[in-house]
Structure 1
């Protein structure tokens, strides 16, 4: 059975502490993943736009109905109704996992408005509002200095957060510490922390992407094999610190670029959120499913990486200060992509509002 369902199912059977999530809320993709051991899902503005394009036949009539029912609504109001309903639909598909695991797994992450990444109060307010959508909702927010404040407030309100737009050890530690402050405040207020399951994403593939760009920018000549380990090295260093300090937050690896972003984390008490194309590649591979989380990055590659200033920023605990998070190259590129994806989604809604046909 394990061979028939692929390597990710085998991973979930042998290493249940290494959770695997579907990096999308598309129905067919989520069903594929759940059947192979997935225990959660993630979304963001780009994902929602892509899912809408894939499933326009399922959503167009509903969107037109909402537009007619809400004659005063802006495209943003309609878009957020769609985003929320996609999350609710995914939450329902994951509910059996949620119930089976006593509410520890089976959750879906919905992301706050990317435009709010500088506004802690607005992010926290939206995050807390999302908590009413379904019992198995988590909330993603960007890991800016404002995001760190929002993580604490949302945690105090009982929200399981998913810190995103995060690429560095410094961000991961700031997130975990913010969550700990929120949990402590809940304890002092006599509130339970039992069902709060926070995660902090490190977008390992985007860490790789940025380090490679920095190498070109700085005209460095390095072993190209080392560059495939940048995100892995940052993730493993953050994991070591998390384990030593006993944070309740768990690390989540996202933005896959090579199979190391799965294989090197097997055996860790972590989450791996994977797009369907990468799920299919991994499931069809002949890579052995064995524990590698505690295996260090080869020293020769780590020494090469440490010649890159932007890698040091990602790898060292004090590589960045919170006020510098939004200026790190990977953050700049990713938040702009998220903002662009959000604007593209609004553009689709706007076309429907003015009666422009979507389906050809």
Structure 2
């Protein structure tokens, strides 16, 4: 970069926050071009899932169409889905390489690339663990996303015991985040009891704050509940703040991660906390363009009136916000869980269809 460009980057809010606060920035995409720019903004991690992979491939068909054709020639018996997941792995490995310097610098706490387990495995604990172990072997700085359902939480404990660094996905609520953190702690304790080596796992626990907001907006619409819409913009932020403070209070060895952005509050209100924020790249650009102030906000509570109104008028918020709002067995039936899992399954099917259209084009 030129000196002018270097100066411009150094004054961007994301870069300032990354360099002056404990809050870590990740890029919510494994697209190597976006990730390289995000690293200039201060990003120290990135993530991939079926939706992200599908978007990255569609945005760079000139690269991926010939690569998929090449993979098909190299693996003549592989099906479309298998080939699609080969591409996901290649995307993830390439992104992981970009993050290796930060992985070394931070001793493994940062510099992580998140890769998501196949959503079709969401009912199979053993299959989730086996795939998590496989993915962990793709690169030293891989961290594996497993859904925060009852099945997934059991898999998270076992995968942690087997040495996998964990990121939770399909996770929107305080009770889910706490259950995942406890599962990671149990996995660590089992490793210690078995005499397995201690190291920095860098595990994180995602709360998809924007998707929680989306679900609550759908719920109030369906149930004809009239509420100041501004309150609903704070629900995800409130859940993220509460989860972070509980993690600190309880001494968990994992961090909260803010994902699924719908407004800049899901970054700006969390600054100052030892946690991760993972905006999509376009959100990062917008935050920088608008010079959103960098202020220590993590300890500023959400307006108590907003919390009181949400608790009184939106029972689904109570389930998401209170630590005991749901049991582990209820996680899979939470509206945001079902909606997001369906989207991931649909993206997986769309990736398979994309590969099919390349290999067997319509006549």
Q: TM-score, normalised by structure 1?
A: 0.96
The equivalent of 1:303 in structure 2 is: 308
Distance 2:292 2:103 in 1: 30
The equivalent of 2:347 in structure 1 is: 341
Change (3 A) 1:260 1:2: farther
Q: Is the 8 A contact 2:9 2:41 kept in 1?
A: no
Q: Which moved more, 1:191-200 or 1:337-346?
A: 191-200
Please say if 1:81 is aligned against 2:86.
yes
Secondary structure of 1:274's aligned partner: coil
1:3 positional shift: 5.1
Alignment of 1:73-152 (within 5 A): 73-152=78-157
Q: 1:7 aligns with which of 3, 10, 13?
A: 13
The equivalent of 1:61 in structure 2 is: 66
Consecutive unaligned residues of structure 1, counting only runs of 5 or more, are none
Secondary structure of 2:167's aligned partner: strand
Please say if 1:246 is aligned against 2:256.
no
Q: Which moved more, 1:252-261 or 1:217-226?
A: 217-226
Distance 1:158 1:193 in 2: 10
1:45 positional shift: 0.3
Q: Is the 8 A contact 2:108 2:201 kept in 1?
A: no
1:24 positional shift: 0.4
Please say if 1:234 is aligned against 2:239.
yes
Please say if 1:271 is aligned against 2:276.
yes
Q: 1:27 aligns with which of 21, 25, 32?
A: 32
Q: 2:318 aligns with which of 312, 317, 337?
A: 312
Distance 1:211 1:24 in 2: 25
The equivalent of 1:165 in structure 2 is: 170
1:286 positional shift: 3.2
Q: 1:214 aligns with which of 219, 222, 236?
A: 219
The equivalent of 1:322 in structure 2 is: 328
1:148 positional shift: 0.3
Distance 1:279 1:331 in 2: 26
The equivalent of 2:266 in structure 1 is: 261
Q: Is the 8 A contact 1:2 1:9 kept in 2?
A: no
Aligned length: 356
Secondary structure of 2:278's aligned partner: strand
1:142 positional shift: 1.0
Q: Deviations over 1:103-151 (max 9, x none)?
A: 2211100000001111111101100111110000000011110000010
Secondary structure of 2:43's aligned partner: coil
Q: TM-score, normalised by structure 2?
A: 0.96
Consecutive unaligned residues of structure 2, counting only runs of 5 or more, are 1-5
1:2 positional shift: 6.3
1:253 positional shift: 0.3
Q: Which moved more, 1:137-146 or 1:76-85?
A: 76-85
1:287 positional shift: 2.4
